[in-house]
């Protein structure tokens, strides 16, 4: 019974996102430009080496396509939730027969899946045309989809947890900025962690941010079943951790709202 309603919410927002698809395509276009620029950047860097830190140039750009698709499929979610926290508008959801976090998740996933597909396809075509295809076995794809989905879920839960901090910050934009820059750098969104100095990459590989971008993207360009087990397991662990954090923070926030009116 309960699953039906959240599935319906996700599906409705998926369809809803189609209605303003031109907006989405426009922003995807700009991501495409970023990819375009990076292709030239990496070409310059790869002029003297065929392999850098275990990545060929083809792997490097497909890595970027994957991280972009995962991360930017949910742009501004932190800000959206943060604004609802600050304004106290979350209270309006209390009179509805569903849970706010689950609603937000279903709603976001509906849109994120469409955006993920669009970004992946558009950026993938650019890389395909300019550099060529990724060597990847088709049977690997379902596993990649699992880790991508877990990455998107983890990304959402971290953003929701961060956004609930907005209560103490009065400004959701600052939090969005901080979080996105962390994922950008030590999350491995822009460049794989192997390229960082050992002490940074060492720590970053264990932090949850890398399970949003680096690990699933690395798995995509250099698949091994063993690595898949390790990545998926750690993603589930971090998802559980942030799920608990989000639930606890949400409940605390709601209690506070109900006593003090926000």
Residues that bind another protein (CB under 8 A): 1, 4-5, 8-9, 12, 15-16, 19-20, 91-92, 94-98, 257-261
Cβ-contact 262, 88 below 8 angstroms: yes
Please identify, using beta-carbon distances, which residue of 97 and 197 lies nearer to another protein.
Answer: 97
Please identify, using beta-carbon distances, which residue of 5 and 76 lies nearer to another protein.
Answer: 5
Please identify, using beta-carbon distances, which residue of 34 and 254 lies nearer to another protein.
Answer: 254
Tokens representing 238 are 């971090």
Residue 245 vs residues 57, 106, 233: alpha-carbon distances, Å:
39, 18, 19
Residue 213 vs residues 101, 142, 256: alpha-carbon distances, Å:
23, 18, 34
> What is the rounded CA–CA span in Å between residue 193 and residue 203?
10
Please identify, using beta-carbon distances, which residue of 86 and 241 lies nearer to another protein.
Answer: 86
Q: What DSSP character marks residue 55?
A: B
Least distance (Å) from another protein to the CB of residue 80?
15
Q: Cβ neighbours of residue 146 under 8 Å, at least 6 residues apart?
A: 232
Quick check: helix, strand or coil at residue 52?
Answer: strand
Please identify, using beta-carbon distances, which residue of 10 and 144 lies nearer to another protein.
Answer: 10
Please identify, using beta-carbon distances, which residue of 224 and 252 lies nearer to another protein.
Answer: 252
Least distance (Å) from another protein to the CB of residue 247?
15
Please identify, using beta-carbon distances, which residue of 98 and 165 lies nearer to another protein.
Answer: 98
Tokens representing 228 are 């898949």
Least distance (Å) from another protein to the CB of residue 18?
9
**Among residues 13, 2, 208, 23, which one has the least CA distance to residue 99?**
2
Q: Cβ neighbours of residue 240 under 8 Å, at least 6 residues apart?
A: none
Q: What is the 3-state secondary structure (H, E, C) of 141-181?
A: HHHHHHHHHHHHHHHHHHHHHHHHHHHHCCCHHHHHHHHHH
Least distance (Å) from another protein to the CB of residue 4?
6
Please identify, using beta-carbon distances, which residue of 9 and 163 lies nearer to another protein.
Answer: 9
Residue 249 vs residues 100, 134, 211: alpha-carbon distances, Å:
13, 42, 22
Residue 55's DSSP bridge partners are 52
Least distance (Å) from another protein to the CB of residue 131?
37
Least distance (Å) from another protein to the CB of residue 21?
10
Least distance (Å) from another protein to the CB of residue 258?
5
Least distance (Å) from another protein to the CB of residue 259?
6
């Amino acid at each position: 019974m309960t699953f039906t309603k959240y599935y319906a919410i996700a599906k409705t927002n998926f369809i809803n996102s189609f209605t303003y698809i031109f907006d989405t395509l426009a922003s995807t276009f700009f991501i495409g430009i970023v990819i375009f620029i990076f292709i030239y950047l990496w070409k310059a860097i790869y002029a003297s080496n065929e392999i850098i830190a275990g990545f060929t140039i083809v792997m490097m750009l497909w890595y970027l396509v994957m991280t972009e698709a995962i991360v930017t499929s949910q742009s501004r979610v932190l800000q959206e939730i943060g604004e609802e926290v600050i304004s106290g508008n979350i209270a309006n959801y209390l009179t509805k027969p569903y849970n706010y976090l689950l609603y937000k998740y279903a709603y976001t996933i509906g849109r994120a899946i469409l955006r993920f597909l669009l970004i992946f396809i558009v950026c993938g075509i650019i890389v395909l045309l300019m550099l060529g295809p990724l060597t990847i076995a088709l049977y690997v794809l379902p596993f990649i989809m699992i880790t991508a989905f877990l990455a998107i879920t983890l990304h959402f839960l971290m953003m929701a947890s961060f956004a609930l901090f907005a209560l103490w910050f009065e400004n959701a934009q600052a939090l969005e900025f901080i979080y996105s820059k962390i994922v950008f750098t030590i999350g491995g969104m822009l460049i794989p962690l192997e390229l960082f100095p050992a002490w940074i990459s060492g720590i970053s590989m264990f932090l949850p941010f890398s399970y949003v971008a680096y690990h699933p993207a690395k798995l995509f360009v250099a698949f091994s079943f063993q690595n898949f087990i390790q990545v998926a397991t750690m993603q589930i662990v971090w998802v559980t951790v942030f799920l608990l954090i989000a639930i606890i923070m949400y409940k605390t926030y709601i209690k506070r709202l109900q006593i003090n009116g926000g």
